[in-house]
Amino acid sequence: MLREYGSQHPLYDEFKPKKLKREQESVIKKKKVEHDVAKIEKLESSDEGEEEAHPYTELLDIFGIDAEANTQEMIKKWKENEDKEVQDEKTDVNKKKKKKKRRDLDHKTVVNDTTVKENSHNGNDDCKRVITGDDDDEMNEEDFEDYRKEEQAVEESDDEKDNSSDIDDDQKKASSGVGNGDPFVAHFEQDLDETSEKRLSDFTSWQKKTNKIPLFGNVVEVCPSFEALPTVHFDVNKETTFSDLKIKARLAKGWQKINNYDANSQGLFTPLQQNLLHHIYSYKDVFYSSRTFQNGNDVRNLYCLHAVNHILKTRSRVLKNTARIVRSWKEKKQIGELRDQGLTRPKVLILVPFRDAALKVVEVLIQLISSGEGGQVMNKKRFYKEFGDQDENDNSKDLKSEDFKLMFTGNIDDCFRIGISVSRKNMSLYATFYSSDIILASPLGLRTVIGNQGENFHDHDFLSSIEIVIMDQVDVFLMQNWEHVRHIFAHLHLQPKESHDVDFSRVRMWCLNSWSKYYRQSLMFSSFVTPEMNSLFNKHFCNFAGKVKVSPPQLSGSICQVAVQVPQAYHRFGCASFEEEADKRFNFFLTKVLPQFKDSVLGHTAIFVPSYFDFVRLRNYFKSEGIGCAQISEYLQPGEIDRARSLFLRGKRPFLLFTERFYFFYRDLVKGIKNIIFYELPHYSTFYTDIVNYLDAKKRKSDSQLNPVTCTVLYSKFNILRLSGVVGTQRCSHMISSDKDVHMFYTGEEDD
């Protein structure tokens, strides 16, 4: 407004430039001096007889001061002050010129040092983040040192001879946004609009496609009904290479080592990896429910490769954009916005159940990142000491089942978290979360860091910019505490409480808009499907690229592995909704099932209860009714467990309650069970086979009338997933749709 109105603006005198004010004040002083000098000369040139009385001169005479000498002295001071102001202005101009010259010289030094040390620098890759937008647009010596390191890191990370740093971002997006472009660029360097965001939040508008792939499973792909943003798709039937997937070439050497690559084989990936990678590297959400101990290594190697490739691409993009900023400062040109970061540094979150699983993940990361010459791993010795097997001479597992040995091998501590920072060839373990690229933790270990609202320590800022969430062996999370998983997802992408030295001018717009959940990729690997996992998949997997669920095509059922000849009765009870299922099951058990086993003849009855809440409910009922019952749960001490087993074996307690989590962690089969009641089918279908095969059926033929051996199962229409795992997919479908509420199975028979 001042520029438009000029001196005519009513507030011009108050807000006019300081330099103009100084000039006007100098002119006023100069005119005042000239006026006073002219006045004095006029007085001196007048007649002596006609001297006029002057108050100022009369006052000087009273004090005995020479008026003429005083006037000359005042004129001299005024001139000195005026000359000093002019000299100060000239000095300020010269200083600014010298600063500008020094800044240009420092820019030249940065570029020259980077060029000279292009192929010889092996220094620190952990560059500091550039903070732009200073008011005076000046840079100190520390800033230039940061830029020098970042320039050198850019040259080191350019191992693929990629000269794309000079290409404009818009051109890069246009060339790689679709078709055979880089899926990383296509997914993370595009911005949603508000209309697309609202449509994505409405899950009812998403479309579902089903496809069956031999030797892989039923593939259900759920995608938005509209194309929110262009995505990259790969040909499933085509053999894929690192170049096709835009994977960093330097990872190929380590991949050949960890993936048992054979030079004579036809490809770099196993058939399972080949089917999974097309979805994973398209940055879609994936839920794979056929993970086993046999294919676990293939799954782990694949998601570790994807995580490392993502981190290296993110780091390379940040460093190259920093170099562009340095060059733009040198050349004094505008390059527009370069948004390549999140609100915090961590980008990948990996959740695994045990320390041994974390050890295997870190070993794969080391092979991928630091397998070549010059690679280093910081704090490696400390890591192996804390995560290695601490009970190498433990022989208690020798008598356990094979799946138990595979599940609980190594260090099985379930409370840990560790930050990992990644550079070109180096890894730093035990990095602080806010200086880490990857966070590797168990659900319990991460929950203790996040805390709850109201606690003294409550921090979740490090989860605000997670771009990939990987959950391996999710079925074990159910046996630990599923609430921890829900708590972690509830704290993803929340607004940070502190800035954590972030450069907001380089934060992606979709991150600032709190739309990170639509860009986050979630990978979940489990050995079976549960309603809890489906709920997580349906509510928290919001990727605009779509989500894929892979499940086995047909399940034969673990009932086929039952060896003993025991009648197995399946009782179906009705319930209208899932909320009332617990009450309906409890009432059905009390009225229809329990009265059959209260007779003293039918002793030694064990009740298998998967849920601890149902276990407490039944325990309280037996106690209130005065029914003798022994209880075994995962929270009891070994001495208490032995006492309960002894009481049940000797017949002093006719009933035994035990939980699925107890059997999962101990696999101790209780002796003396002649009748088993599955209050609800187990999550792990193999548990059904183990328990039924261990029934005491030796005297069944000789004493079948007086002491029969039985197996009773309670189920409802909401137990389809568990029921199909035990009896098989086809039998489950028939039992749910049948008019009969009771179905009887004998081992070896195909149909009921």
What pLDDT shows up at residue 499? Answer: 87
Can you tell me which residue has the tokens 């970042």?
150
What pLDDT shows up at residue 468? Answer: 97
Tell me which of 119-133, 134-148, 633-647 is least confident.
119-133
CA distance linking residue 147 with residue 127, whole number of Å = 8
What pLDDT shows up at residue 260? Answer: 72
CA distance linking residue 305 with residue 310, whole number of Å = 9
Angle (deg, nearest 10), helices 612-625 and 581-588: 40
Beta-carbon count within 10 A of 468 CB: 20
Q: Which two tokens stand for residue 439?
A: 């966070």
Architecture of domain 558-745: 3-Layer(aba) Sandwich (3.40)
What pLDDT shows up at residue 694? Answer: 86
Return the half-sphere exposure (C-beta side, CA atoms, 13 A cut-off) of residue 411.
20
Q: Are 605 and 678 in contact (CB under 8 A)?
A: no
Q: Which CATH number fits domain 187-308+335-391+402-551: 3.40.640.10, 2.60.40.1220, 3.30.420.40, 3.40.50.300?
A: 3.40.50.300
CA 300 vs. chain centroid, Å, equals 17
Residues 6+ apart with CB under 8 A from 345: 434, 435, 436, 437, 465
What integer is the mean pLDDT of 716-726?
A: 94
Give pLDDT tens digits for 156-167: 444 444 434 333
What integer is the mean pLDDT of 510-532?
A: 94
CA distance linking residue 196 with residue 216, whole number of Å = 33
What pLDDT shows up at residue 108? Answer: 47
Counting residues of the chain whose pLDDT is more than 70, the rounded percentage is: 71
Give the model's confidence band at 193: pLDDT under 50 very low, under 70 low, under 90 confident, else very high: confident
Give the model's confidence band at 676: pLDDT under 50 very low, under 70 low, under 90 confident, else very high: very high
Q: Which helix (H) or strand (E) holds 218?
A: strand 217-224
pTM, rounded to two decimals: 0.76
**Is 176's pLDDT higher than 90?**
no
Give the model's confidence band at 370: pLDDT under 50 very low, under 70 low, under 90 confident, else very high: confident
Beta-carbon count within 10 A of 296 CB: 17
Residue 255, sorted as left (phi over 0), alpha (psi -120 to 50) or beta, turns out to be alpha
Residues 6+ apart with CB under 8 A from 643: none
Name which residue leads in pLDDT, 653 or 29.
653
CA distance linking residue 546 with residue 413, whole number of Å = 35
- In this chain, the answer to whether the domains covering 187-308+335-391+402-551 and 558-745 adopt an identical fold is yes
CA distance linking residue 752 with residue 742, whole number of Å = 10
Name which residue leads in pLDDT, 122 or 99.
99
What are the residue boundaries of the structural domains of the chain, listed by start?
2-100, 187-308+335-391+402-551, 558-745
CA distance linking residue 386 with residue 404, whole number of Å = 23
- Give the chain's largest Cα–Cα span: 159
Give pLDDT tens digits for 38-69: 655 555 554 444 444 455 566 556 656 666 67
SS3 653: coil
Give pLDDT tens digits for 235-253: 666 667 788 888 888 888 8
CA distance linking residue 414 with residue 412, whole number of Å = 6
Can you tell me which residue has the tokens 């690997």?
525
- Strand-pairing partners, residue 572, are 715
Instruction: Single out the residue of 342, 314, 321 nearest to residue 167, CA to CA.
Output: 321
Residues 6+ apart with CB under 8 A from 125: 153, 156, 157, 423, 424, 426
What pLDDT shows up at residue 749? Answer: 47
What integer is the mean pLDDT of 184-209?
A: 86
